[in-house]
Copies of this chain bind each other. A is one copy, B any other.
Amino acid sequence: MFGVTILGNNSALPAFDRHPTAQVVTIDQYQFLIDCGEGTQMQLSRYKIRRSRINHIFISHLHGDHYFGLPGIITSMGLLGRDTDLHIYASPLLENILHSILQAANAVLPYNLHFHAIAEEGILVEDPKFSVECFKVLHRIECWGFLFRERKKLRKINKEAIRFYNISSVNFERLKMGENIITEDGKTVLNEEVTLPNKPARSYAFCADTIYNEPIADKVKDVSLLYHETTYLKALEERAAARFHATTIQAANIAVKANAESLLIGHFSSKYENLDEFLTEATEVFPNTQLAIEGVTYRIV
């Protein structure tokens, strides 16, 4: 299972029972929290996502609607007796804020909190099955997007071809990696003759809060699911630019330029109660678009 569950889809002012930004990315048994607006711990309870499964939290930037729920989650994990390490990835300024908050409460956490200051674009987490990278987006303050990628999948052994060439199983690992082999009698067997391609590796890109910024499209090229903010409808393009936010059309244009398979839009301004128009506008440019709705899990297939 690879998917993202929306816990908050609203911009800074909570409204219409929509919450500030928070998303949970699930890759098999792993769960990652992206951003953590006020009330995220309640949203986790509401949608029955266990805090204890989250070991990595990524914070895009230090506007409050993206992290004011973080101190609460950190504290609650402590009260619940967590003993697993927790990793937080964010602007270095956050470390001091968290430190002051914990110190004022005279709190000693029963688990290790590892703070990873984000300084430049690159890999944040590496695992045999997946990686998480950060990339710059363009907002009023320093702001990071996050890209979750499955590792390139190994090629599959074609059993019939293996029998035909009479290839020993000691070669299978190298074949899965895409290498050619030389048989005992000195003949070269091309990899594609005895293996089959696996499904392509899937990916999810979270583009945080950003103004329309074409270089982002290159950074998330060919992504399976692209989350892009759409704080405003297209009529408010000027306001969007002035506030370093994006519109429906702009998000859809990034999806087109990135050659994304599908697009998820969110971070809706609290001036809009009904969200239908967001979908209507975005699909004009990029048909495979969905609204980010709280409580819904969008699977990446």
- Chain A residues in the interface with B (C-beta under 8 A): 12-15, 19, 38-39, 41-42, 45, 62-65, 68-69, 71-72, 75-76, 79-80, 91, 93-94, 96-97, 100-101, 103-106, 140-141
**Contact across chains for A72 and B62 when beta carbons are under 8 A apart:** no
Checking B13, B38, B41 against A80 with a beta-carbon cut-off of 8 angstroms, the contacting residue is B13
Checking B14, B65, B93, B105 against A62 with a beta-carbon cut-off of 8 angstroms, the contacting residue is B105
Which residues on B sit within 8 Å (CB–CB) of A96? 100
**A75 vs B38: C-alpha distance when bound (angstroms):** 12
How many whole Å from A143's CB to the nearest CB in chain B?
11
**A69 vs B65: C-alpha distance when bound (angstroms):** 11
**Contact across chains for A68 and B72 when beta carbons are under 8 A apart:** yes
**Contact across chains for B12 and A79 when beta carbons are under 8 A apart:** yes
Task: List 5 additional A-B contacts (Cβ < 8 Å) besides A12-B79, A97-B100.
Answer: A12-B76, A38-B41, A38-B68, A64-B75, A93-B100
**A41 vs B69: C-alpha distance when bound (angstroms):** 13
**Contact across chains for A72 and B141 when beta carbons are under 8 A apart:** no
**A65 vs B15: C-alpha distance when bound (angstroms):** 22
Known interface pairs A64-B71, A104-B93. Does A76 touch B13 (Cβ–Cβ under 8 Å)?
Answer: yes
How many whole Å from A138's CB to the nearest CB in chain B?
14
**Contact across chains for A72 and B38 when beta carbons are under 8 A apart:** yes
Interface centre among A14, A15, A94, A103 (most CB of B within 10 A): A14
How many whole Å from A51's CB to the nearest CB in chain B?
10
**Contact across chains for A62 and B13 when beta carbons are under 8 A apart:** no
**A141 vs B42: C-alpha distance when bound (angstroms):** 26
Q: Which 3 A-B pairs have the closest CB atoms?
A: A62-B104, A93-B104, A38-B72
**Contact across chains for B38 and A14 when beta carbons are under 8 A apart:** no
Which residues on B sit within 8 Å (CB–CB) of A64? 71-72, 75, 101, 105
Checking B12, B103, B106 against A75 with a beta-carbon cut-off of 8 angstroms, the contacting residue is B12
How many whole Å from A238's CB to the nearest CB in chain B?
19
Return 14 A-B CB contacts under 8 Å, by A number.
A14-B42, A38-B68, A38-B69, A62-B101, A62-B105, A63-B105, A64-B101, A64-B105, A65-B75, A68-B69, A93-B104, A97-B97, A97-B100, A100-B100
Which residues on B sit within 8 Å (CB–CB) of A39? 38-39, 42
**A42 vs B72: C-alpha distance when bound (angstroms):** 15
Which residues on B sit within 8 Å (CB–CB) of A75? 12, 64-65, 68
Which residues on B sit within 8 Å (CB–CB) of A91? 104
How many whole Å from A67's CB to the nearest CB in chain B?
9
